[in-house]
Amino acid sequence: MARSFKVVIVTPDKTAYEGEAISAVIPGLAGYIGIWANHAPLVAAVIPGVVTLKKDDAGSELRMAVGSGFVEVSDNTVNLMVETCEVAGEIDVDRAEKALERARRRLADMQEDIDRERARLAVARAQARLRAAGKK
């Protein structure tokens, strides 16, 4: 019985990550989704949040901030197709904090509902970047 599985994370621009993991936690529309080896087939919506991959039994983890998209699990392979993906160590915390401030201001000042969802998603993406970086 396989203990690890393959994880591939792609964005419109690049393959952001490709490697093995023994567990994955992914932000889904109905809550975080936990995945282990031999997981049942699954297709689900992904929301902006933090993906956490446990790499080995020693506790080695990789955290990434991701945007909206989809996850597909099949045959011990997890494919994440997301708008954005940033590895925790590569996140510019100052920039993320400024983006969060701007998005919150836009959301608070908004008069029409047309862009409310866009502003809400901007807040969620900025918060995910800060959580992945371990700052909030």
Domain containing 37 — which CATH number?
2.60.15.10
Tell me which amino acid residue 81 is.
Answer: M
Helices (DSSP H) in the chain: which residue ranges?
93-109, 116-132
Give me the mean pLDDT over the 47-55 stretch.
Answer: 95
Question: Do residues 38 and 76 touch, judged by C-beta distance below 8 A?
Answer: yes
Number of neighbours of residue 42 by Cβ within 10 angstroms: 14
| Residue pointed to by tokens 């918060």 | 127
Tens of pLDDT, residue by residue over 52-95, are 999 988 878 999 999 999 999 999 999 999 999 999 988 889 89
Alpha-carbon distance 11 to 56, whole Å? 25
Alpha-carbon distance 1 to 37, whole Å? 8
Residues 65 and 24 in one domain: yes
Which residue has better confidence, 130 or 11?
Answer: 11
Tens of pLDDT, residue by residue over 87-130, are 998 888 989 899 888 888 887 876 666 577 778 888 888 889 88
Please give the pLDDT value at position 86: 93
Give pTM, 2 decimals: 0.83
CATH number, domain of 122, equals 1.20.5.440
**Residues in a beta bridge with 66:** 49, 85
pLDDT at 9 over 90: yes
Residues 104 and 76 in one domain: no
Output DSSP code: residue 39: P
